[in-house]
Each structure stands twice: as structure tokens, then as C-alpha cells.
Chains A and B, each alone.
Chain A
């Protein structure tokens, strides 16, 4: 059975991870908009 302290850590992880994911997604979109305004040398075709 999960201990109380482990349960609380689990709860914190869920929230902090959600916030980090939201921030990453937002910055990735902003970076997209930035590159769309200045598409000059992005020829990085794989």
C-alpha cells in the first residue's frame, strides 16, 4: 500500500509535469511564429 508521503509526492508530480508541458507547448508555438516571420535560412531537411 502506498504511503502518505509517496501519495503526496505523486500528486505533486502530476501537477508540476502538467505545468511544464503547458509551458513547453506554448514556447514551441511562439518559436513557430518567430520562424514564420523570419524563414530565411531554415533549410534543415532531414
Chain B
């Protein structure tokens, strides 16, 4: 019997549920005591070593987008696309190594990076960064659920909303048992599984198709210019006909967007700060982020090269249905090039490996991001502003209920965006405009003792407003409009914060921050900066 998709719908739910049950059982058996208090629930115990932290950073930074958009860049920009994608995405990790080590040294008791801002800067900056941290993590989880569900639809034809709901239920299931430690533990298992699957796929395409055939195919596309994406204009397709040029112009634009957008996605994301908080010492933080950069880079690089450039070489065309044996797969949109290519070349075994890898990537990141939203909401908004006398028990209860509330919100937004046709690639490229204005102020707060508190506050707001205004002015253009907007966001925030601080410095002593942090059953021990 011929299917419109290569697998029946139930397999998607079976794979997700299988992974979910494994993680729930493992976390319950090994680490449920980590969820006994709000402190250990939100901090993971602050005693985790390099191996698990390294693996967790890798798993957290592998999204559905890492596998699907990296392949898309190979398909659209040629061999250099995955290099630009990986470079732009990996830059924040070494930067995070320095920032994380610094915060772990000077404020080892905080549970979130906005909490650090509270004691380093002031209340208004704390509230601003708390909101940014919540928006960033929500944005990321919306993107990964969308990406994972798009893949599920392409593979199995299961309903988009059904996949989204199943994923989110798994996110909150094991997180609710043991919080941050559960996230990191499950990430570790997932990272190993993902490496096995992706190495199999990369080597499989190498053997089945071969680099010589891929090269010849790309040369053929360059010479004959077939219409592989019928919905796009000729100008938008031009980069696809330049697939062996390492200076591919549109690919370079994507590098800028990716670099700036990802700075915000990591540096202003509590999920990565959570790994800083959970690690056992500053040296572990530094070593783990550096090693994660080295270990993460080849994942989109190899996946994008094998599946994206491979699909370009085979001339896969958006809108076409491809048949392998008795099964067919519809290449519905360019962002779904990875699942189409893996099935075309490696059949059901490759398909299974890719579904497991993307499922693991989605679950690990999604669980971490949802917990981060809750961590900042409960620790910084509730404990920091609304109910300063909240007890450990109340915080723990709010954290668990918060997971449920955020899960419902995520499903509602993802399904609504799908109904109105909000694009996955658009979501990714628009990301930098929304919140990268906070990057320069954050770095200044961590390293520059003379940082002016008003300067970083207004730099964050004005930078973001300027970038968004320019993007709207370009009718939300997803090519060079988004590139310019990303540059404007980060440049404006730097041009406000740095000169203002030089003119009106506000000296600060980091030495007084050692005991900083919201206490569960009392007021902060160190006086917050005002």
C-alpha cells in the first residue's frame, strides 16, 4: 500500500512516548530526591561535573532547527551553508564560557542570571532581564516545538497539534520530578543517542551517495539552474545556483543573522545559565562550554552537508512527492529537506535514526527551556518582586504548577501560528531582532565594574525598538532587511551603553557579591545594588 508519508501516524507518538517513558523512569529511579526542595529543584544541586554539563550544553544547543535548518542552509546556500550556520551558532558558547565562569566566581549562590543582575545592577534592570529571559526561552520552545512537529508531519502525517501536545507533555513530565538535575541527566543520555544516530546518517549518506556524486550534482545545479523552489522568485533562488562558492552572498547574510540572533538566544537564555548554576565549580563551567563548542560544531556541519548539500545535488524539488519502495514522502517545504533526503537515501533505518535524533533534540531543549521560563518566573518575578517572603515549599509548588501553565500556553501559540501560516525560517531569522539588544548590556554588567545602570537599561530598550522599527520599515523582509535590523539592534545598544558609561561611570565592587542571592525563607543576605 502506498502512503502519502513514509510512516503511519502512530509511530511518531510511539517514538516520543518511548523516549518520554525512559527518561521519566530513569529520573524517578536515580534522581527524584533532587526535587525535594526548591533550592535543589531549581539549581540541580550545584555539584554536577564536566561530563554531564558538557553533554547537557550540547543537547540543549541541538534543536530541531540545528538538524533541519542546517540542512536547509546546505540546500539553499550550498556547501558553505552548514559552515556559516555552525559558525554563527557556535560563537556564543566560548563567550558563555567566560561569562559563566565569571558569574560562578563572583556570585556563586544565584539561581538565575536575572538574579545576578538584581544584585549587580538594580530593580529595573532585573525586571527587564527577567522579562527578556522569559521571552527568549518561550521563543525558543515555540520554535523547537514547531520544528519538531513539522518534521513529524513530514514523516508520519500525524496531526500537527497532536505532535505538539505530546512533546510538551514529555517536556514537563520528568522536569516536574527533579527539576534542573533531571534536565541535565536526560540531556546526557540524549546526547549519546543523538551522536550515534547522526554519525550513522552522515556516514550512511557518504557511503550510499558518495562525495563525488554530490559534487557532480551540485555542479549540474549550477550549470542548468533547475527550479527547485517554485514558490520563490528568481532572485531568492540565486544563492542555490552558487552552491560551490564559499563567499555565497546570501549565505554570508545568514551568517550575520545567525551570529547576532544566537548571541541573544544563548547569553540571555536561562537554560544555559542553569548549566552554570548546576556545575560544581567555575573551572567546570569554562571547560564544559569550550568543549561543548568543539563537540557541537560538527553536528550541524555534518548533518547539513550530508542532507542539505546532498539534497541539492540530487535536485530534490519542493512540492514533489518522492517514492522509495512502497512508501512516499511529500517534500512539502524547503525547511523539511532533511527528513526528505534521509528517507530518499537511507530508507526506513535512516528515517528512524533521524526521527530519534530530532525527537531527542526537541525533548532535551524543550524541557530545559520550559523549566527556564518557570525558574525565572518563580525565582525572579515572584520571589524577587511579588512575594518576597515565599517559602521553599511554596516556591517548589509554584515551580511545578508553572510547568503546566507554560505547557498549555506553548501548545496554544504553536497551533495558532501554524493555522495562520507563520513560517519556521521566519521565526528563526527574526529572533535576533527581538532580544539581542540585551547582549552588550549583559556583558558590561558582568565584566565592567564602572557600568552605568541607566545606560544599560535604556540601551537594551532603545536598541530593540530601533531594530524592530527598521524591520517593520522593510516590510519584515527576511533577506537583507533582517540582516540590517540585526546589526542595528546590537550596534545601537552598544553605542548607547558604552559612551554613557564612559561619561558617567558608576563604580561597583564585585567582591561584595559572594553571598548574593534570594534566600528561600528570608530576605537577601547581601544588600542589592540600587
**B299 touches A (CB below 8 Å):** yes
Which of the listed residues A7, A17, A25 has the most CB atoms from chain B within 10 Å of its own CB? A25
**Per-residue interface assignment for chain A, residues 10 to 45, with 1 indicating a CB less than 8 Å from any chain B CB and 0 otherwise:** 111011011111101110111111011000000011
Q: Is the CB of A28 within 8 A of B281?
A: no
**CB atoms of A18 and B198 under 8 A apart:** yes
Q: Judge if B382 is at the interface, Cβ distance under 8 Å.
A: no
A31 to B52 Cα, complex, angstroms: 10
Known contacts being A28-B50, A46-B105, A46-B282, is A14 close to B302, with CB within 8 Å?
Answer: yes
Chain B interface helix/strand/loop/mixed = helix
Number of A-B contacts (CB under 8 A): 106
Determine if B58 is an interface residue (Cβ-Cβ < 8 Å): yes
Per the bound structure, the CA–CA distance linking A26 and B360 in Å amounts to: 17
Q: How far apart are B282's CB and chain A's nearest CB, in angstroms? A: 4
CA distance A9 to B96 in the complex (A): 31
CB distance from B305 to the nearest CB of A (A): 5
Q: Do the beta carbons of A26 and B212 come within 8 Å of each other? A: no
**Residues from chain A with Cβ under 8 Å of B101 in the complex:** 46
Q: Are A8 and B202 in contact (CB under 8 A)?
A: no
Chain B interface size range:
35 or more
User: Is A25 a contact partner of B295 (Cβ separation < 8 A)?
Assistant: yes
Mostly helix, strand, loop or mixed at chain A's interface?
helix
C-alpha gap A46/B282 in the complex (Å) = 6
Question: Which of these, B199, B211, B212, contacts A19 with CB under 8 Å?
Answer: B199
Nearest CB of B to A5, in Å: 9
A32 to B381, CA, bound (A): 35
A8 touches B302 (CB 8 A): no
Q: A17-B297, A19-B199, A25-B191 are known contacts. Are A32 and B52 too (CB-CB below 8 A)?
A: yes
**Closest B residue to A33 using CB positions:** B51
Given A32-B49, A33-B51, do A21 and B298 touch, yes or no (CB 8 Å)? yes
State the CA gap A33–B189 with chains docked (Å).
13
The 3 closest A-B pairs by CB, nearest first: A32-B51, A22-B195, A17-B298
